[in-house]
């Protein structure tokens, strides 16, 4: 079974409007409200793949209860830790081909909640059923910047692998720590932020960057490159993944879908080639849909055969 972690989930509200009028009333007819946050996108894709998955993280208030209810309605197992703060709303206004987002910061976590979640997490991680943990997204206020490092240390104690998809200081902190995730999946923007200079999508440059001491002892580094596929390092091997042209509808969440593919492939002990294919096909399938964290698996096999993987 796979454990996914979302530390700052949200109720994602989408307001489609023909025209967005400022400084006056806008009436919305077709509202959609879905559980959101990067870890929950990963969870949804894993569920569609028929992988056994359970979601955890921090949840609070009426919106937290709503998320749990909606996940259960979809048959998604979850075991969140309840906090005193309110889970947030994130609003996307879809208008005239644009997407204007209003993102709440979310609750501030207290010291005791921070300590108690680690105990809750340890109980889940040590369960024999859990084979791998996928951690995604940012940390809410109140948690120390090395919080993911503490979680990875717990996973290491029980010899469970971690796929980590976060950015900025939280990721840098993890890379400096003794305990490493098995996989990280930055995009070039996140990679540039990490090393403090702009990184292009050029494979030679990426190869050089990934040899940096900062990434030592991380088994897999998979840099996702949007329409250019991906560049990956697995121990001493380097791969360029080329993807076919697709009809893109909404690429938001393709990275999360890719993380679901990576986690699922490791869970089933896939080869390097199959892992990279699965990860990229799921990223593409997400980009071909309107909904975030939704994939239509009908096209899976066709795309799987069209992905090209070159060892370089």
Residues forming contacts to ligand ATP in the complex (CB under 6 A) are 187, 224-227, 229-230, 243, 246, 248, 251-256, 258, 280, 283-284, 287
Nearer to ligand ATP, 114 or 280 (CB): 280
Nearer to ligand ATP, 43 or 224 (CB): 224
For residues 170 and 178, what is the distance between their CA atoms, to the nearest angstrom? 14
Alpha-carbon distance 296 to 257, whole Å? Answer: 12
- By beta-carbon proximity to ligand ATP, the closer residue of 35 and 251 is 251
Residue 200 sits at the vertex; the CA angle it makes with 163 and 249, to the nearest 5 degrees, is: 65
Tokens 């995604």 identify what position?
136
The CB-of-230 to ligand ATP minimum distance in angstroms stands at 4
What is the nearest approach in angstroms of ligand ATP to the Cβ of residue 306? Answer: 11
Give the whole-angstrom CA distance, residue 253 versus residue 259.
10
Q: Is 51 a catalytic residue?
A: no
Buried b (16+ CB within 10 A) or exposed e, 13-38: bbbebeeeeeeeeeeeeeeeebbbbb
Shortest distance (Å) from residue 187 CB to ligand ATP:
4
The CB-of-15 to ligand ATP minimum distance in angstroms stands at 20
- Of the candidates 91, 93, 94, the one whose C-alpha atom is nearest the C-alpha of residue 102 is 91
User: Tokens at residue 87, please?
Assistant: 């889970």
Which of the following is catalytic: 165, 228, 256, 272? 256
Nearer to ligand ATP, 40 or 83 (CB): 40
Catalytic positions are: 256
């Amino acid at each position: 079974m796979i454990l996914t972690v979302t530390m700052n989930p949200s109720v994602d509200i989408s307001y489609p409007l023909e025209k967005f009028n400022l400084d006056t009333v806008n009436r919305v007819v077709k509202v959609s409200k879905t559980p959101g946050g990067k870890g929950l996108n990963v969870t949804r894709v894993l569920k569609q793949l028929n992988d056994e998955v359970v979601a955890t993280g921090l949840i609070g208030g009426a919106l937290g209860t709503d998320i749990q209810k909606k996940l259960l309605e979809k048959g998604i197992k979850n075991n969140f830790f309840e906090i005193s703060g309110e889970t947030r709303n994130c609003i996307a206004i879809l208008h005239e081909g644009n997407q204007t987002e209003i993102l709440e910061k979310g609750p501030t976590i207290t010291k005791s909640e921070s300590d108690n979640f680690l105990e809750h997490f340890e109980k889940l991680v040590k369960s024999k059923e859990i084979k791998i943990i996928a951690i995604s997204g940012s940390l809410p206020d109140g948690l120390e910047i090395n919080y993911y490092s503490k979680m990875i240390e717990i996973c290491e104690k029980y010899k469970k692998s971690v796929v980590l998809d976060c950015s900025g200081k939280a990721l840098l902190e993890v890379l400096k720590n003794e305990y490493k995730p098995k996989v990280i999946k930055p995009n070039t923007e996140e990679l540039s932020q990490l090393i403090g200079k702009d990184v292009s999508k050029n494979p030679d440059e990426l190869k050089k960057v990934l040899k940096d001491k900062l990434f030592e002892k991380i088994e897999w580094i998979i840099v996702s490159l949007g329409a250019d596929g991906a560049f990956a390092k697995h121990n001493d091997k380097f791969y360029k993944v080329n993807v076919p042209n697709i009809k893109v509808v909404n690429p938001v969440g393709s990275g999360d879908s890719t993380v679901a593919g990576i986690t699922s492939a490791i869970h089933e002990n896939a080869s390097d080639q199959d892992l990279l294919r699965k990860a990229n096909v799921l990223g593409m399938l997400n980009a071909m849909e309107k909904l975030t964290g939704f994939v239509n698996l009908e096209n899976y096999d066709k795309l799987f055969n069209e992905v090209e993987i070159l060892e370089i």
